[in-house]
Amino acid sequence: MSIFSSIMSKIFNRGGAQAAEAPTVQKAQAGSSISPASGAAATSAPGGGGNAGGAQQTVDVEAVLTELAGKAGQKLDWRHSIVDLMKLLNLDSSLSARKELAGELHYTGDTNDSAAMNIWLHKQVMKKLAENGGKVPEDLRS
């Protein structure tokens, strides 16, 4: 499973209600998609019909993450930090994991400039969550 698929799964499948119908991740450049369950390229979302807006249940990403943060037992700035977001979701937040995520999301900058990469990753993850059925406030997407 790809790192972004893991992020999607942890947020969209809270409580397991949507496990069988995880949304499909759209690649910005190719128009194909990545299935969160497999990480493999796919041409349509589960249930058929591509990434049709009506077929997905909207998930309030901010509410899910805020709830998790309240139970975390430590202060994690998931609103600004990709590292803290990944920690909140109990995912590997190491530099190598973030570089892998950057590759998945087609980062074209210098991965050795971790500060710039981290800022880009956070914005891109929030943008991709919104594109795939997540309700994400505008200030988190830009």
Per-residue pLDDT of the chain (142 residues; tens, 9 = 90+): 899 999 999 999 975 443 333 343 433 333 334 433 333 323 233 333 334 444 457 899 999 999 999 999 999 999 999 999 999 999 999 999 999 999 999 999 999 999 999 999 999 999 999 999 999 999 998 7
Can you give the pTM of this predicted structure? Answer: 0.72
Cα separation, 18 vs 71, in Å, equals 22
- Give the pLDDT confidence score for residue 141 in this predicted structure: 84
What are the angstrom distances between the C-alpha of 105 and each of 74, 109, 133?
A: 28, 12, 17
- Give the pLDDT confidence score for residue 18 in this predicted structure: 37
Q: From the CB of residue 142, how many other CB atoms can be counted at a distance below 10 Å? A: 8
Distance of CA 26 to the CA centre of its chain: 11
